[in-house]
Structure 1
Amino acid sequence: MNAQSKSVLTMGELLWDMLPDGKKPGGAPANFVYHAAQNGVEATAVTAVGDDELGRELVQLLTERGVNVAAQVNEYATGITAVSLDENGIPSYDVVRDRAWDHIAFTDQVRELVESADAICYGSIAAREPHGTRDAIYAMIDAAGPDTVRFFDINIRSGFADHDVLERMLNGATILKINDEELPIVARLFGIEEPEFKVPSQTECVKAIKEMFDLDVVILTAGDSYSLVMDDETISMLPTPKVEVADTVGAGDSFSGAFLAYWLRGFSLRAAHERAVEVSAFVCTQQGAWPEYPAELRED
């Protein structure tokens, strides 16, 4: 990566997804930053792990995949999530609480990393506890420069949808990524008319959220139906490719990471959207969230 490369920094969970066929590395911000790195930007993950073999293995794996890992080691155990898959490969998650990544500290080193990044990314999962990482994410948002892209990949999990936390994170964002299951939850929380599961209704809801929080871009993914990306001038809508699904773990995160990387590199909204769709479709054909890219998807 040359000195002119754009840089992305994420803060949040790095953990093991305990899948039916064994453990695989994951965590939404880690998935995001892995795919950002595969799509041509300098990528850094700020996270925390325990002083244990599970944590050391995760840091090594993410580093080997081209990500700079700023991993704090604390007294808590490394994160794990129990993942079950339905007959269509759609996952459900049981995220174990009070793990190392719930206790990320906003240190001077983290501040320097944030201030030098072209974009930061964060999600609501890491803010589930009223201390530790939630405060670090707030501090990261506040420390980001005025021209820094602030990407909020909302990722509502395990029923955590706190109005005040989401409002703080939405007000700090320039780009929001949300899916069709999260959209009505956010609409209810902020007094927006709940969308029907139809494109026109969902589009209007996305517009209302974009206007309410003065966002530059909103991304909506609607599972195996379609995805939509909206800025002030353009609405890009693409169907979801039909593929043979292994599982969908990390598919949304891969969409986000690929989109932001291409957006930062100066590609058009449509081109970034097309790349995101291509990458996330590939991820659905693979097991786990960090598959190796085939030759036709790799960046030169």
Structure 2
Amino acid sequence: MIADQDRTAEGRLLVVGSVNVDLVLAVPRHPEPGETLAGTGSRRSPGGKGANQACAAARLGGDVRFAGRTGADADLALDLLRRAGTDLSATTQVPGSETGLAVVTVDDVGENNIVIIPGANGSWTAQDVHGLRSAVEDSDLVVSQGEIPAAAVDQLAQLSTEAGTRFLLNLAPVIDVDETTLAAADPLVVNESEGRLALTALAGTTAPEDDAATVRLLREAGVRSVVMTRGARGALVVADEEVTEIGSPAVRAVDTTGAGDAFVGALAVGLARGESAAQACRRAVRVGAYAVTRHGAQPSYPQQGDELPA
């Protein structure tokens, strides 16, 4: 069970990132290029990697402030964040913009493909992030992702470094952030393919096929700590010299959409509470496993009191 926690006793999280509406299309299988395929259903729900991670953390009892940018049509996109008790005072509406849109196709075995229209998420600038300085200074952990412009992420990493606030970067998708931003990440959270791309960008070398070797090389290239998510195989963590493998519970997946964000949100809560990366990952893989057994992104995330897979 997830024990009830007093929010005032929790580490303070600032999540800066994207907020979308997800248009989810159910399909028997993913279409081939040029193929027209009949779907079996559709629904709209809140999404966006930043909003997802903030929502996952808040539903677990985290003290979460979310900074996002939306259009005027943001009621659905922010609904579950509000219900989870997320502080949205740093989330702003961008005149003339639409809220970001993600078109997600989910097949019969739960695998997904996603196309994103950034909308207001693409309007973030370094100056916008500079306006969050006091929020960064007031936080114990700052979290961001790759669905806002690289200049904004770079500025956030710089502010976090100047404030002495720990910075978690989920480099998903992989964007062209500065090397100093990758070096500031503690941890850098990537999946297998993102980890290889990050290593190529940071070290200029082709990454090995072995995941453990990739995370070790990222650490040697200057990243403070690395967490690699590996779906049903769990995660790898390297904070010092040792690579720790964290297994994931075996579950029947119905929809993998947003499961990685559930993992990151849970990881962030644990780190903000002062847990080690390995300790936080052990809960995070269970939260991710819980999420894939339900449909949607934010609607699938556990709340305090929900029983997680063992």
TM value normalised by structure 2: 0.82
SS at match of 2:260: helix
Which residue in the other structure is 1:131 paired with?
Answer: none
1:273 and 2:295 are equivalent in the alignment = no
RMSD: 2.2
Instruction: Rate the CA distance shift 1:236–1:297 in 2: closer, same or farther, 3 A.
Output: farther
Report what 1:16 is aligned to. Answer: 21
Which sections of structure 1, spanning at least 5 residues, go unmatched? 128-133
> Aligned pair in 2 of structure 1 residues 180, 72: CA closer, same or farther (>3 Å)?
same
CA contact (8 A) 1:7 1:42 kept: yes
SS of residue paired to 2:13: strand
2:143 aligned with 1:121, yes or no? yes
**Range with bigger deviation, 286-295 or 36-45:** 286-295
- Residue identity opposite 1:18 in structure 2: L
Q: Residue 112 of structure 1 aligns with which residue?
A: 134
Q: Aligned pair in 2 of structure 1 residues 210, 124: CA closer, same or farther (>3 Å)?
A: same
Gaps of 5+ in 2: 1-5, 26-41
Summarize the alignment of residues 62-211 of structure 1 with structure 2, pairs less than 5 Å apart. Answer: 62-69=81-88, 70-74=90-94, 75-97=96-118, 99-104=119-124, 106=128, 110-127=132-149, 134-144=150-160, 145-156=162-173, 161-162=175-176, 165=177, 167-189=179-201, 190-196=203-209, 201-211=210-220
User: How far off its partner does 1:108 sit?
Assistant: 6.8
**C-alpha deviations, 1:155-187, integer Å up to 9, x for none?**
12xxx643xx25353133221111112222223
Equivalent residue pairs, number:
279
One-letter amino acid matched to 2:231: G
1:86 and 1:120 map into 2 onto residues whose CA distance is 34
Give distance in 2, aligned partners of 1:33 and 1:72: 16
- Tell me how far 1:116 sits from its aligned partner: 0.8
In 2, Cα distance between equivalents of 1:19 and 1:249: 9
Residues 1:265 and 1:244: Cα distance change in structure 2 (over 3 Å): same
* SS state at 1:151 partner: strand
How high is the sequence identity, in percent, across the aligned residues? Answer: 26
Shift of 1:234: 4.5
